[in-house]
Amino acid sequence: MPGDGIGPEITEQAVNVLKAVVEGSDLELSFTDGLIGGAAFDAEGQPFPEITRQQANEADAVLLGAVGSPQYDELDRPLRPERGLLAIRKELGLFANLRPAMLYSALADASSLKPEVVSGLDILIVRELTGGVYFGQPRGIREVDGQREGFNTMHYNEGEIERIGRVAFEAAQKRGKRLCSVDKANVLETSELWREVMNRLAAEYPDVELSHMYVDNAAMQLVRAPKQFDVIVTENLFGDILSDQASMLSGSIGMLPSASLNEKGQGLYEPSHGSAPDIAGQGVANPMATILSAAMLLRYSFGRGDLAERIENACVAVLDQGLRTPDIMQAGMRQVSTAEIGEAVVNALGN
Ligand code: NAD
Ligand code: IPM
Ligand code: MN
């Protein structure tokens, strides 16, 4: 589902890479194109049409570009592209959003932070994706005391907290065994419960060291000393903000992939960035985040970590060759287009 803005440009490259890596392997993938976001609104009058809903449910995995564009910002909220994205996440029950932020060594100087602060960085943000203030009822704009008031509701029940907690503890077990739960327990009741459930779960994962941090401090620590983190688990809105922030540690938001998983093993894979209307249609968008999302697709939805690694290694090789889109351009490197990055990754797969 390419979506809007740079979505079609970047998904085209990721699909080419996917097709190339499965060719000659024992995995066969069949592809279907789907409409979502503004593209779906234009064609069907809705950001998440019924046909797309069916396609999503039938698929083992969805690869998504991005949604949104200023031209849709004046539409009624239920018709906006972003609603399409929220709807597909909710429809498939994709509660676990994994956003890994790594610094590839070739990009040590591309980050806005000093190389010694970010070199070797490898953190995973586990963001709760189907709850919190994004979906809480009641919500709306109402008239109170003669003026309009906007209101949203944040709530989390124990079950929602526990299932995202388990995903994070299990991820930490497979990595550096350190989990930092980020909340605002000094102010919010949702966070108070969140912290209580995380502490309770910790007893079941004695090999994982659990710590807690307030979200404001976490934002500061991510910039001050990001390598102190291994896995971060947090609620929907905090995770949205912190993952964009973490993306700059890896050089560019164009480098940050994501996987959104449900309890049945289905997944949606998309870059963490948006539709970048400011650069859409120019062939300059960085397709790496989408290509790396395709690697996560092979790993999580098809159990093919081997093929995922081939894509990841190919991305490293392309960066080592000095090929760069403008967002990660550095002195002495060669600036190339979105499509040229995609082609170079295909070539570096070494089929
Ligand atoms: P954005 O992530 O689209 O862009 C922020 C900045 O990062 C822009 O300067 C953009 O050019 C740059 N950028 C993003 N991806 C890039 C890439 N692959 N290569 C190079 N540069 C890249 O965020 P925004 O501008 O706040 O939002 C634009 C639209 O995207 C809005 O409609 C928003 O709702 C939507 N959005 C969608 C998603 C999604 O589909 N998952 C995520 C975030 C924002
Ligand atoms: C993201 C985006 C979305 C979110 C928007 C477009 C609904 O920012 O995927 O991070 O807030 O989850
Ligand atoms: Mn976001």
User: What pLDDT, on a 0 to 100 scale, did the predictor assign at position 351?
Assistant: 58
Find the angle CA(220)-CA(221)-CA(223) to the nearest 5 degrees.
Answer: 70
**Residues that place a CB less than 5 A from ion ligand 3:** 240
The CA–CA distances, whole Å, from 184 to 100, 305, 315 equal 22, 35, 37
**Closest ligand by atom to 7 CA:** 1
Beta partners for residue 140, in sequence order: 151
Mean pLDDT value of segment 132-136? 98
From the list 72, 156, 183, 184, the catalytic residue is: 184
The Cα–Cα gap between 281 and 203 comes to 51
The Cα–Cα gap between 36 and 52 comes to 7
Is the bond into 8 cis (omega within 30 degrees of 0)?
A: no
Q: What CATH fold (topology level) applies to the domain 1-98+253-351? A: Isopropylmalate Dehydrogenase (3.40.718)
The Cα–Cα gap between 5 and 265 comes to 29
pLDDT tens digits for range 42-59: 999 999 999 999 999 999
Can 184 be counted among the known catalytic residues? yes
The Cα–Cα gap between 51 and 154 comes to 31
Give the CATH class of 111-250.
alpha beta
Contact between 135 and 122 under an 8 Å Cβ cutoff? The reply is no
How many Cβ atoms are within 10 Å of 339's Cβ, its own excluded?
14
pLDDT tens digits for range 193-220: 999 999 999 999 999 999 999 999 999 9
- pLDDT of 111 above 90: no
Rounded percentage of the chain residues whose pLDDT exceeds 70 = 100
Interval between CA 305 and ligand 3 midpoint (Å): 26
Specify the pTM. Answer: 0.96
Can 104 be counted among the known catalytic residues? no
Can 134 be counted among the known catalytic residues? yes
Mutation test residue for ligand 1: of 1, 41, 82, 253, the one with most atoms within 8 Å of CB: 253
ipTM of the complex: 0.97
Mean pLDDT value of segment 174-190? 98
Find the angle CA(222)-CA(227)-CA(228) to the nearest 5 degrees.
Answer: 80
Q: What is the DSSP string of 74-126?
A: TS-GGGSHHHHHHHHHHHHT--EEEEEEE--GGGTTTSSS-HHHHTT-EEEEE
Mean pLDDT value of segment 34-43? 98
- pLDDT of 306 above 80: yes
Contact between 48 and 84 under an 8 Å Cβ cutoff? The reply is yes
Site residues for ligand 1, CB cut-off 6 Å:
6, 66-69, 82, 85, 253-254, 270, 273-279, 285-286, 289, 327
Q: Which ranges in the chain are annotated with CATH 3.40.718.10? A: 1-98+253-351, 111-250
User: What pLDDT, on a 0 to 100 scale, did the predictor assign at position 350?
Assistant: 81
Can 264 be counted among the known catalytic residues? no
Interval between CA 286 and ligand 1 midpoint (Å): 11
